[in-house]
């Protein structure tokens, strides 16, 4: 019975998304802080938007884990390193999703630069590999993304992210599927040091628009409390962060109305 249930869920999450241009979804870049704030990841520091660290040049190594619906076979593991330098700021992200019979591997390189006091520009190159059959060779392709982060004032950020602008496809045996082509726009507003509000609009050109909202409350510098939600379907999220310099721990949870709970955690080491 467990095998039947898992197979049905995998078919829904993996193969149906391929038919709707959603083979690799936005969760492929795990960001526990953003995930607890409605997954407003393009406007918050992280790997989702390659320009997002333009105004926060910090070196760090982080490990991330996401568990989907309590099923270990749908889990993702990832590692990130961010290394700003005087020439060209860069970062690397490696993740693996799935299990022995089906798994996805992602290797990404971010390059970003602050062009002025207001604008940061970033580009990303991704290698996506898919193992889906013992009888067929693994599929793989290279894609690119472009991100912009605008910082017009100390309390306001605006983001723009274009995922897969070249509309790259991946070949799986005799079938081919176009990877998601997504336009994301976000805003963050911090009226006071302890409050942060975020909002985001995500449009996959093959799917309906998704609206996302998040809030972070930091009563003391060591602790942050977060809540958020996104629509279609309505999915609430919440979490917390612990700043134990040089370590940062982030926890996030969300509740899908049909499939159940997702959980996400990350450990970051600043150096």
In contact, 228 and 39? CB cutoff 8 Å: yes
CATH 2.30.30.20 fits 25-270, yes or no: no
- For the chain, the average pLDDT equals 89
- Per-residue confidence at 171, pLDDT binned at 50, 70, 90? confident
Q: Which residues contact 4 (CB under 8 A, 6 or more apart)?
A: none
pLDDT of residue 176: 80
In contact, 250 and 33? CB cutoff 8 Å: yes
Percentage of the chain beyond pLDDT 90 is 73
CB count in 10 Å sphere of residue 16: 10
Query: What is the value of pTM for the model shown?
Result: 0.87
pLDDT of residue 137: 87
Q: Name the DSSP class of 137.
A: P
Mean pLDDT of 223-244: 96
Mean pLDDT of 190-201: 96
Q: Count H helices, E strands: the chain?
A: 3, 16
| DSSP, residue by residue, 194-253 | TEEEEEEEEEETTS-EEEEEEEEEEEETTEEEEEEEETTTTEEEEEEEEEETTEEEEEEE
Question: CA nearest 128: which of 205, 173, 180, 184?
Answer: 180
């Amino acid at each position: 019975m467990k095998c039947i249930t898992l197979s049905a869920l995998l078919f829904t999450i993996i193969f149906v998304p391929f038919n709707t241009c959603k083979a690799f979804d936005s969760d492929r870049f795990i960001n526990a802080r953003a995930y607890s704030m409605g997954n407003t990841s393009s406007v918050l520091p992280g790997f989702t938007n390659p320009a997002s660290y333009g105004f926060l040049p910090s070196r760090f190594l982080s490990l991330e884990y996401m568990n989907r619906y309590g099923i270990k076979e749908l889990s993702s593991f990832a590692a990130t390193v961010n290394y700003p330098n005087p020439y060209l700021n860069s970062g690397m992200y490696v993740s693996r999703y799935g299990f022995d019979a089906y798994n996805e591997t992602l290797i990404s390189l971010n390059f970003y630069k602050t062009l002025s006091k207001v604008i940061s520009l970033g580009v990303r190159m991704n290698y996506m590999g898919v193992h889906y059959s013992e009888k067929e060779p693994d599929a793989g392709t290279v894609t690119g993304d472009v991100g912009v982060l605008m910082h017009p004032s100390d309390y306001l950020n605006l983001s723009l992210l274009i995922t897969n602008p070249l509309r790259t496809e991946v070949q799986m045996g005799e079938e081919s599927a176009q990877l998601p082509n997504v336009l994301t726009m976000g805003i963050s507003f911090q009226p006071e040091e302890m409050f942060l509000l975020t909002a985001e609009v995500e449009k996959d050109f093959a799917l309906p628009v998704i609206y996302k909202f998040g809030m972070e409350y930091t009563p003391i510098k060591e602790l942050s409390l977060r809540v958020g939600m996104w629509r279609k379907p309505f999915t609430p999220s919440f979490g917390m962060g612990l700043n134990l310099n040089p370590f940062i721990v982030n926890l996030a949870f969300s509740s899908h109305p049909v499939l159940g709970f997702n959980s996400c955690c990350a450990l970051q080491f600043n150096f």
